[in-house]
Amino acid sequence: MDNNWKEEDLADAKAVTDEVTEEAIAEEKQADTPARKRRTWPWMLLFLLIAAAAFVRYAPEPMRDRYLSPLMQWLPDAQREIVKSPPPKKEPEAAPAPKPPVAPPEAAAKPAPATIERIVPASSDEINRVLSAMTNLQGELTTLRQQQQQLEQQQRAVQLMQLRTRLNWISNPANHLPQLQLAWEEVSLMPVLSEDERKQAQSMLKLAQQSMQKLQGWQQVLRRSAESLTRVEHDNIIPKFEYGWLNWIVGQFSIRPSLSREEADDAALRQALINTSRNLEMEVWPQKREWLELRAKLQLRMLADEKGNESEGGKAIDLPESFDAIRADIATLRSSAAVWLERL
């Protein structure tokens, strides 16, 4: 439509130009004087400029170049530049985007109308299927509960069996204090115990730990005391011979000088301390009379070594006068396990 409109305008402009040209030619023919010709020349030039401007404005570019090239040669330089550069076309301004309609606050606050669904009554077959599915599901749940109860009962039976095993282990006199301590520690951690039973197991564990610390402390004192006593050994007085077979015979026999009384007493005391330390580990308790005699010998030997401290009373030895207290604690550990085992 735009191109057709431009061609119509170009045709009108051309027609106007032809008419103006014909009129100008007719007037020139009619004019007799040169002054009249001079008056018509500016008007002709004005009409030519108007026609050229209209042609430049609306004609396509190839047509402009074709028809305006001969005309450009006759125009002055200033007018030629005006014809070559037509006025820029104004682009149509974009229409502003329409603003979305703002809903009034009352309309926005109104909730959407709830859709009313029609309730279709279920058939008897569907109801029976749902009831049957619910019955099956309830049966499966009941079976799962029964299986869970059976597993819990089996787990409890296993835990009770482990508890009986540990209590039998504790009550057995063949087991010693280190084993009793470990067994009570396992019992105190079992999940099958009630709150009171757990407290009892923890109290027995604490008693076993205290007794074990006392026993280990006494063993260390006995070993250190035995190591502090000097062990004297004399060399064999039989000389070595030149021949090897004679040296072998000499090795079968030895003649050594006898120990002094003090050296013999120290050696006997040292061996008695070592034996007592081993017996305490195996819970072989010494007789009260023998233990008091051994303890007194050790105390006198320590006083003899501390010559400068005799006036101060000497250093007290860290050994008990009897082992009745620790023996009673061990008996309590075993008797508590035996009573608990009877209740089970």
Buried b or exposed e, range 241-258, using 16+ CB within 10 angstroms: eeeeeeeeeeeeeeeeee
Greater pLDDT, 124 or 64: 124
Q: Tokens 């923890």 label which residue?
A: 202
Measured CA to CA, the distance from residue 137 to residue 132 in angstroms comes to 9
| Mean pLDDT (whole number) for 279-308 | 86
Measured CA to CA, the distance from residue 59 to residue 71 in angstroms comes to 15
Q: In this model, does residue 124 exceed pLDDT 50? A: yes
Q: In this model, does residue 27 exceed pLDDT 90? A: no
Q: pLDDT tens digits, residue range 197-216?
A: 999 999 999 999 999 999 99
Residue 186: per-residue pLDDT: 94
Q: pLDDT tens digits, residue range 225-245?
A: 988 886 656 566 666 666 666
Q: What is the mean pLDDT of the chain?
A: 75
Residue 99: per-residue pLDDT: 52
For residue 253 the two structure tokens come to 């026999």
Confidence at 132, pLDDT banded by 50, 70, 90:
confident
Range with the poorest average pLDDT among 106-115, 137-146, 266-275 = 106-115
Range with the poorest average pLDDT among 83-92, 269-278, 280-289, 325-334 = 83-92
Angle between helical axes of 195-228 and 177-188 (0-180°, round to 10):
150
Which of the residue ranges 21-30, 40-49, 102-111 has the most confident prediction, judged by mean pLDDT? 40-49
Confidence at 105, pLDDT banded by 50, 70, 90:
very low
Residue 325: per-residue pLDDT: 94
DSSP 216-272: HHHHHHHHHHHHHSPP--PPP-SPPPSSHHHHHHHHH----PPPPHHHHHHHHHHHH
Cβ atoms of residues 63 and 83 within 8 Å: no
SS3 183: helix
The DSSP H or E segment spanning 145 is helix 124-171
Q: In this model, does residue 116 exceed pLDDT 50? A: no
Residue 203: per-residue pLDDT: 96
Q: In this model, does residue 131 exceed pLDDT 80? A: yes
For residue 143 the two structure tokens come to 């079976």
Q: What is the CA radius of gyration of the chain?
A: 65
Residue 227: per-residue pLDDT: 87
Q: Tokens 């309830």 label which residue?
A: 138
Cβ atoms of residues 326 and 214 within 8 Å: yes
Compute φ and ψ for 330, nearest 5 degrees.
-65, -40
Q: pLDDT tens digits, residue range 295-315?
A: 999 988 888 777 645 544 556
Confidence at 123, pLDDT banded by 50, 70, 90:
confident
Measured CA to CA, the distance from residue 344 to residue 339 in angstroms comes to 9
Confidence at 258, pLDDT banded by 50, 70, 90:
low
Q: In this model, does residue 343 exceed pLDDT 70? A: yes
Confidence at 156, pLDDT banded by 50, 70, 90:
confident
Measured CA to CA, the distance from residue 299 to residue 311 in angstroms comes to 15
> Quick count: other Cβ atoms within 10 Å of Cβ 54?
17
Q: Tokens 């007018």 label which residue?
A: 79
* Triad 79, 80, 85: Cα angle to 5°: 100
Q: pLDDT tens digits, residue range 318-340?
A: 899 999 999 999 999 999 999 99
Q: In this model, does residue 97 exceed pLDDT 70? A: no
Confidence at 45, pLDDT banded by 50, 70, 90:
confident
Measured CA to CA, the distance from residue 329 to residue 182 in angstroms comes to 16
